[in-house]
Chain A
Amino acid sequence: MFNKEKFKQNAPAIPVLIWVGFLVGLPLVFVIILSFLTRDDLGNVVIKFTLSNYKKIFDPTYLKVFFNSFLLATLTGLITLIIGYPVAYFTANLSPKKRSLSIGLIMLPFWISSLLRTYGWIILLGNTGIINNILTKLNIIQSPFNMMYKFSTTLIGTAYMLIPFMIIAIYNSVDKLDKSLLEASYDLGASKRQTFLNITLPLTLPGIAGGFTLVFIPSLGLFFISDLLGGGMTLFLGNVINSQVTKGRNKPLAAAFSIGMIILVLIILYLYGKLTKDKKGEGLF
């Protein structure tokens, strides 16, 4: 039955649904279909069903790429958590004025293109970069210390790029924390440490899980960071997809990789749902 009241209530969602349908739903269907198609000698996509693209991504080399990406994303999540948690915790406990200043500062880098900020790291870490220049001028090191083009350089880049997501997610859950629970804990004689471990940490777990998810997912795709900071020395999923679409001229294979990446993301979302009982992922937004 047509419920006029309900329709009125939900009407504003219609454009959004159309928007999402057009720009997310359709392309996704297209990618799924593409991943089962073949390419001809000229790199054109041919409408011919095949499973070979999926067979190819199970090749040991490409499985290593999956593992490499998984490792990078997990480590990015952990590093941003370790650095981000204290920041979020103290920010949430500041006076309202200082708090908005702090949040503003955390969001400030978003005003600048991420590519430019990545170049900033090259200026900082490069052989003739700021850090090496200062250290050699002070005679602490004799020749420049090589910090570029390593797995760890890429990790610094992704962690730096995504840490605001972690901070904001944890900040929200610390902010929602019922302060009377903390007072009750102190009243009952618990120490600060006990209160943190038994009250604050478990209650902010959804924020941690949300932050981890929000950091993990995009770090799989930031291929320009591993190109610029990692010097292309190792491959991540984003790089393989990028090179298969462009120079490799193999869009079906790239589509299969994308589906593999989406499955990796779904696993993380599933774990997130399990951990926080937030089946719809509402806590993520």
Chain B
Amino acid sequence: MKKNLKIIISMLLSASLIFSLAACGKGEEAKEINIMTWADFIPREIIEQFEEETGIKVNYKEVASNEDMQSLLEASPDQYDLAVVTDYMVDILRRNENIQKLDKDKLPNFSNLNPVYQGQYYDESDEYSFPYAISTSFLLVNPEAVEELGANPITSYEDLWQEELDKNLVVIDWSVEIMGLVLKTLGYEYNETDPEIVAQAKDKLFELKDNIMRFETNTPEDSLLNGEAVAGFMYSNQAVKGQAANDKLEPVFPTEGFPMYIDGFVLSSEAPNLDYAHEFLNFILEPEISAKISELTSFTNPNVAAQEFLPEDFKNNIMLNPTDDIISNASLYIDVDAVLEEYEHIYSEFKMK
């Protein structure tokens, strides 16, 4: 009996091995495109509408991070057509030749884009990518709770160091982000490499430890909603969600400056369905479609022509539609790789303190 079981199990295992190997084989040519990005980053409704209008099937692969997309584009460039990655990753992919130039003749809607978000360091002449979703990170504050603790109102990063805020802050869990916050507080730029400045930032960072109650990248707004934190440093879409659930929460764009992220579409170096992929990109750039995407995903819209189709409450939400004045205080993280290892080490030391 027992022996039979062993045989059955071994047969099942070998069968699944064969199937998994067989799955590596190529399917036949079809009218389809393969997109990868974070889950729900391109709304289902939009994809369905595209499929209906064009008859092109969209295969959407959900990935967890920019780095996952990098590995997939490197390992199997011919399996994917498009990806949506963050600014710094466009630079890496471009320098590694994992992506190819866009064919702008096939993208008549390209001119709809807001030049404010174009021509960035990662793609100076906008050849490889175009912005799809803009986000920022800033502070979401519960002013009443801050007052109850006896602390001064929070208007800048510096205010986060107040003793009264002991164990009351939630922050994004990433070394570069937190070191960036500290560097801005001290009046420096992001990703400084000067050892003296870094040492100064490290000391300042360590002083913040007691005030942090939680490091959380995915749902930091929850900590403000359930009252365990009075202020949080988080991404704009999370702050939007938090404020929608509790209108007493207020966004604070720190006076020292804050980071901005530009997520953009890129084309795999060996994209198998170039024409269909461009058709999809042009569809995404249509004003009405673009406005609908922003509404569904709560990201700032980079499409000038889409502005008139945005709903009023979206347009009036300072977090979703920040004024040019606010945006002028935002900056991208540049040259992360030059500082990453050192910042990660400082960050580990900070956490183990």
Contacts and interface: CB of A to CB of B under 8 A. Distances in A.
Contacts of A231: 213-216
Contact of A18 (B17, B213, B214, B227): B17
B175 A247 contact: yes
Contacts of B226: 126-128
A16 B173 CA distance: 41
Given A12-B7, A149-B214, A19 B14 contact: yes
A149 B220 CA distance: 13
A235 B14 contact: no
A44 B352 contact: no
A136 to B, nearest CB: 12
Best-surrounded residue of B17, B68, B338 (most CB of chain A within 10 A): B17
A42 B97 CA distance: 12
Contact of B13 (A15, A149, A248, A249): A15
B175 A62 contact: no
Classify chain A's interface size. 35 or more
Nearest to B336: A249
Contacts of A43: 67, 70, 92, 337, 340
B228 A42 contact: no
B13 A16 contact: yes
A234 B351 contact: yes
A65 interface: yes
Given A12-B7, A59-B345, A232 B228 contact: no
A186 B170 CA distance: 60
Chain B contact residues: helix, strand, loop or mixed: helix
B65 interface: yes
Contacts of B14: 15, 18-19
B232 to A, nearest CB: 12
Contact of B351 (A42, A59, A232, A247): A232
A41 interface: yes
A50 interface: no
A148 interface: yes
Interface string B309-353: 000000000000000000000000000011011001100110110
B41 interface: no
A163 to B, nearest CB: 26
Contacts of B65: 246-247
B17 A19 contact: yes
B10 A16 contact: yes
A41 B338 contact: yes
Contacts of A44: 96
A146 interface: yes
Interface string A37-77: 00001111000000000000001011011001000000000
Contacts of A233: 212, 214-215, 351
B26 interface: no
B228 A249 contact: no
A15 B17 contact: yes
B228 A126 contact: yes
A235 B337 contact: no
B11 interface: yes
A148 B228 contact: yes
Interface residues of B, number: 38
B174 interface: yes
Contacts of A234: 351-352
A65 B13 CA distance: 37
A143 B349 CA distance: 33
A249 B89 CA distance: 11
A276 interface: no
Contact of B348 (A19, A240, A249): A240
B173 A232 contact: yes
B248 to A, nearest CB: 16
A242 to B, nearest CB: 11
A195 interface: no
Interface string A223-248: 00001000111110000100111111
A238 to B, nearest CB: 13
B227 A128 contact: yes
B203 to A, nearest CB: 16
Given A68-B352, A234-B352, A235-B348, A247 B174 contact: yes
B17 A62 contact: no
B349 to A, nearest CB: 4
Interface string B193-217: 0000000000000000000111110
Best-surrounded residue of A19, A44, A149 (most CB of chain B within 10 A): A149
Interface in B4-22: 6-7, 10-11, 13-14, 17
B336 to A, nearest CB: 8
A-B complex: 4 closest residue pairs judged by Cβ atoms: A232-B215, A15-B14, A231-B214, A128-B226
22 contacts: A12-B11, A18-B17, A19-B13, A19-B14, A42-B92, A42-B96, A43-B92, A43-B340, A61-B345, A61-B348, A61-B349, A126-B228, A127-B228, A128-B226, A149-B213, A231-B216, A232-B214, A233-B214, A235-B348, A243-B344, A247-B344, A249-B337
Interface of A: 12-16, 18-19, 22, 41-44, 59, 61-62, 64-65, 68, 126-128, 144, 146, 148-149, 227, 231-235, 240, 243-250, 253
Given A127-B228, A233-B214, 19 more contacts: A12-B7, A61-B348, A61-B352, A68-B352, A126-B226, A127-B227, A148-B228, A227-B173, A232-B215, A233-B212, A240-B348, A246-B64, A246-B67, A247-B174, A248-B175, A248-B340, A249-B67, A249-B337, A250-B344
